[in-house]
Structure 1
Amino acid sequence: MWKRYCGWILIWALFFGLFPQAAGAEAKVLRVAFDKELPPFTYLDRSGQPRGFNIELMKEIAEENGYELQYVPLEWEDALAYLREGQVDVLLGIKYTSTYDLVFDFSESFFTMSEVLLVPKHDSEIYTLNQLREKVVAVQRGNVGMDLLNNVRRVKMLVSFNQRDALENLMRGRADAFIGNRWTAEYLLNEAGKPDEYVMRSGLINPTDYAFAVREGNYELLEKVNEGLNKLYRDGTYTRLYSYYFEPYSPHVTDRYRKAVIGLLIIMSLAAITLVAIFFWNYRLKAEVRRQTAALADALAFQREVLDNTESAILSLDVGGRITLVNQVARRLLVTDEHALGLPIGTLLPQLPLQQALAADKPSLFEGEFEFGEGSGRVFHYYMAPFGNAESEHVGWIVNLQDRTEQKRLQARLIAQEKMHALGQLAAGMAHELRNPLTAIKTFIELLPKKLDDQRFRSQLLQYVPEEMERMNRILEDLLDYSRSKPLEMAMTDVRKLIDSVIGLFAKRAANEQVEVKVDIPPGIMVCMDRGRMKQVLINLVMNALEAMSASQTKRLHIRAMQGEDGVQLSVSDSGEGIADDLLPHLFEPFLTTKTQGIGLGLYVSEKIMREHGGRIEVSSRKGEGTTFILYFPEPREGVPSCQDY
């Protein structure tokens, strides 16, 4: 009996004692990816264990939050792909860029990463990025160094999967230079025993925030990581790890050096110490000035090279509108040279709105186009933006110029081509319209010899032949109105009659394609418009609607008009396939088309015509349900063309 009680007690002890401990031991597993060849930040030691500054930081954060880390060592591009696809939770170390910010969320920055240009010590040709032309440069795939080299002409890139392999290509003589981060280069050179055989030139390049990254939207984990980093800053752990991985001297060596200096100070006389200190201070100050001057010169030379190799003309102005910088493209376009520096911008470009900019209470952007040189036909697009100094004080303007002459000429030719294409389709419809009156006239002429004496026949001849000829004349007038390019000829126009004339052009096609056409326009709606131009807009909309319904089971074309408080609204709706959401914001841009034929200027021209009338055109569409275009004709007011103005 006693043994049975002991057995039950043992079972209860196991149930309430062991199981809670097992449940409490569970921890959330974080899969962390890192570049396996980026010492001293992240790397694998000889035993295959993860090591590095970033690794130690994440260990401390994981311990603080009760995470269990599962390391995933990868090549850099694979690490990016793993995080993007959700195969890992955290990427241990990534330079911030706006491109990566679209797909990842970044922690607070814990380091400033910079690139350096590394060359053999005996090299006497390469001192800046501009001197890499015709040279072979070793670089890691996906590294910012590749973006820098893309701005250097005729450079040859030897791309490796990691920085260790890239630096080995330099040490083996396969490359003339190496671009990578400074700390990894120093680590690998010390590891290879060659720190004195190579030198770093061109200063620090492209300093950028360096942080951890999580998948977009993983805010809970991101908050834990940021809290962990802040704690490491507060309790001194970050400083300890930073000193261990990045300071070249250990504490006990530094201490011995300090004691030796103290001993020397005791021996040396005060005067000698002062003289030596002054000498070395001056020497180091001069060296630092030379280094900073060289770095500044390199940076300015690089910036100048970038400015001179852009496609745009760029000028900078001071607050008074005097020229302070002119790049090579601007010198070529404006036919000027460095003597233009200091001159008022009005002497070169009087078309710029400088006086308007100077008179404004607050600096703002200005953008527009102007003709450069009277009668030259050259069209420039300008973008004039203010810029400030480090204290956000307005110190001048940046002017960007682009020569749009060829683009304007090409655009004019394409508009004419689009119009001729539309005219071809329009002529096909008119051929049918002309055939009907011609058939009637032909019939009367053929019967004329036989029924010349028939009074009833002569009456009908005199009635119908002139009517049919007038009908043909109206059709030809409509065609001429559509094709002629002329100033606006505003007149009060009956909207219903205008729509009927447009529908008549497509009547045969609509009947052949079994399109149900419905016109819902109350009588008496009048709008001040250029009838020919507006007919061009409506022909384009109806033509687009018929083409959109070519593959639809149900084909309905509905045209409505209504008089509102602010003007007249005219809508053209179809039951076609609709327009994709991503195309709607760009629908009225030139050259946008989804058709196998045509060049995409129909809606662009239509929107331009509506703006000339002081109105606007809007579109609503759902994929698979159809599309509606709405034309808004405002009531006459200031800035809106009125029939009384013509």
Structure 2
Amino acid sequence: MEEKNGTKVIKVAGDNNFPPFEFLQNGTYQGFNVDILNSVSIETGVTFEFHPMPWEEALKALENGQVDAIQGMKYSRERAKLYEFSEPYFTSAQGIFVRKQNYTIFSPRDLAGHKVSVQRGDISGEVLRHVNKAHMIKVENQAEALRLLLDGEVDAFVGNQITGQYVLQHSDRYDEIKIVGDPIDPTDYGLAVLKKNKELLETINEGIRQIKRNGTYKKIERKWFGEYIYPHYFLLEEMLTYILTGAVILFGILLMILWWNFALKRELRKRIDDYQKTMDELARKDRLQSLGQLVAGIAHEIRNPITTILSYSQMLPQKYDNREYREFFSEHVAEEVRRLNRLINDLLDFARQRPPERTAFNLLDLVQAVHLYFHPLIKEKAIRVHLDVPPSLYLWADPQQIKQVMINVFKNAIDAMNGGGSLAISAKRNGEFVEVTIADSGEGINSDDLSKVFEPFFSRKPGGVGLGLSICYQLIEENSGSINIQSKKGEGTSVLLKIPSAGENTS
């Protein structure tokens, strides 16, 4: 440290290309760290003389005594052996950047055997030293390390998350790169000096405390990282309540399904005799396999939203001050809770054993009611609907259960026609049954999938649970009818429902 005209002058080195923390632009040295030290200078009267240079040279300049301090450095145990750190004024985290089409790297351990670009002297080197067989490509700054990734010369870049995103946004190539895994080692960040110069930190620490007290720090933080809007406490509490309630209900459903299965096995064991032992053993194995598929399907559907909620929740403490992440958190966690709720409702419909309450009712009235229910969506998708249902046809079944079947079939048909199309509903009497045909001009079903459409949890629809047609099959069977599907990929789908007839009203 020097004195000029009675004023203390501290020579400070900093990275010349580490935006938005510190960087040269149009001959001016600027950034978050620069503004912090200029504000500390105003509060304490100490003058800081900035020396921007490549990061590795900054480290050597400090070691050789050419400068008194480095204005921004992330704390680590290894670095603490060499340097004394000021009071922290930020939290710094590293991230793993890969190209969008990379699906093999998700965490630091996945970097083994890959080429990874890092900045010389950056703390990312400490991370990679613990990854066996990771090939480090060291360059002068983080912008150059990112360029190697963009040009395909390396498989990944490990560096400061904020700097990496800043460089990508300003190079207009943000859509080519993604960040994978959790933030790496979010740690305190502050000014660093050699241990022999730790007395310099007393004045600097007092200045940092003062700008935090008088609001200057918040203004600088907002300038470089944005304004924060904090979420309402009660909204988070309500969301947590929904998550816990959903988990309890789902656990209860699983217990009910298991109990039901054990009860069936006990009943079957009472009725078998010596002649049926072989056949019953085969049937028991088949039931256990079906139960395994059912439970596996439930577990898979539950795990997806819960895993998503857990991942977002784990990152919330680090990103709590990021407005965009809180908005993203609120929207996506709420959607995952709603997804769990839809799954619960479908499971309840699937497991409910309510016998049908049969009565005679008019088929045309039911079809028109379902058509009216979907009219807004049909209009939005520009779907043409053709009804050919005689008003004289009456069904002998449970009207609510048949309506639920119709709603599920209509919805599948509409979902299959995103670019418009036609939906034809026709019906005729054939002996003791009324045959209802619902045909759409949608994308159709693969021949390999056609035999599986009634299996629980089988679905090719994005976000689909795969219980709709299983419930339809169950309800039609309980009403002494049948359901059959014919489809070809690219040629649409036709669903044939056979439902007991209550005769015709010709009046």
TM-score range, shorter chain: 0.3 to 0.5
Query: Which of the two has higher C-alpha Rg?
Result: 1
Normalised by the length of structure 1, the TM-score is 0.35
Higher-RCO chain (CA-CA 8 Å, sequence separation at least 6): 2
- TM-score, structure 2 length as denominator? 0.45
